[in-house]
Structure 1
Amino acid sequence: MSPKQHRGQVTAGILLDAALRVYGESGEQGLTVNAVTRASGVSLGSLYHHFGSIDGLVDALLMRWLERLLDETAAALRGADTAREGIGALVRAYLAFVREHRDAALLLHSSRADRVGMERAGELRDTQEARVSAFALWLEPRIAAGELAPLPPSLLESLVLGPVVGASRRWLTVGDIDLDEAARLLPDRIWRSVSAEPG
């Protein structure tokens, strides 16, 4: 990598970090070009050079943190020997990520993220194909072995992540959920919905 490319990566990282700070402090309405350039100390021209617009910056920020969340949950799955252990590890890793990276989790669970996800579903799926495939590859042998219910992987993923995403959103917005309690109780509840075992 040339020095110029390295400087460009550093500048882009500074802008992304500043955008997340601004988002955490002021929400989406406060996430403006002026606020980000002021918080980062980076020029307006550099922001447009690297991201094209404030929307391009926010999309890049979403992708940066989505990739990190997917990497952490995939690592949790890889460390599990059984399907039941994997479900528990995935739930705990997701909730730990939400607690440790509250501002990023707010952005990932925002209406903007939902909107971008719906508008760019195919593109996002293609971008994340390796990670999604890793989850599907983790599911398939456990379905074949009779550990998990014989359901399409996309439906199993919804059954596993739906309650975790819901609990995370509630903790982030309403604040009436105890994440430690959720990490303790949700794995068994979710396991019952995806296990191949009766009852």
Structure 2
Amino acid sequence: MKTLILFYSTYGHVYHLAEAVASGAREVAGNEVYIKRVPETLPPALLDQMGATAAQKVFEHVPVAAPGELADYDAIIFGTPTRYGNVCGQMQSFLDATGGLWAQGKLIGKVGGAFVSTATQHGGQETTIRSLHTELLHHGFVLVGLPYAWQGQMGHHEVTGGTPYGASTVAGGQGERQPSENELEGARFQGRHTAEIARKLAAI
């Protein structure tokens, strides 16, 4: 079984969640886990202006995925920052290039899910994941979220991400906050849970 963690990250927050999701997925026996990123669409000068260039060096070693290779995996978990309550442009551009896969039904029956980073607690975590879910459903994915079996999303004693739709983190208005241990645990749970569902479906 093969699982892909596919992400876009501007300042590293989604990348750290992606690593945690992959860590959880690796706990499932016989599961080959790959982490890849979607291509950057912003010019280098703008990334410099945004202060993103240095942050992205942390994950520049991660290979860039091509749309066609999505058909090679049994499960794909997508990670994206939010943009006004929706998927970021880089991830959307990548998904827009999967029309050929859609036309051939290549992703029907794959197991899919999503995780996200937002600046604030109410900055679109759930709407962003739900909008990504809509695209995955058009491709025929079987969706897996982050069930309440993970109790970390039930607490209210600290600022934390985590939704029943997928793992999430709160980055802060200036990107100053990195994923907490609770948020990373939610991501690990999602990776493990998604891989377990994919394995069960593969055995049918």
* TM-score, normalising length: structure 2: 0.31
Name the structure with the higher strand share.
2
Where relative contact order (Cα < 8 A, 6+ residues apart) is larger, the structure is 2
Larger C-alpha radius of gyration, 1 or 2?
A: 1
The TM-score, its normalising length taken from structure 1, stands at 0.32
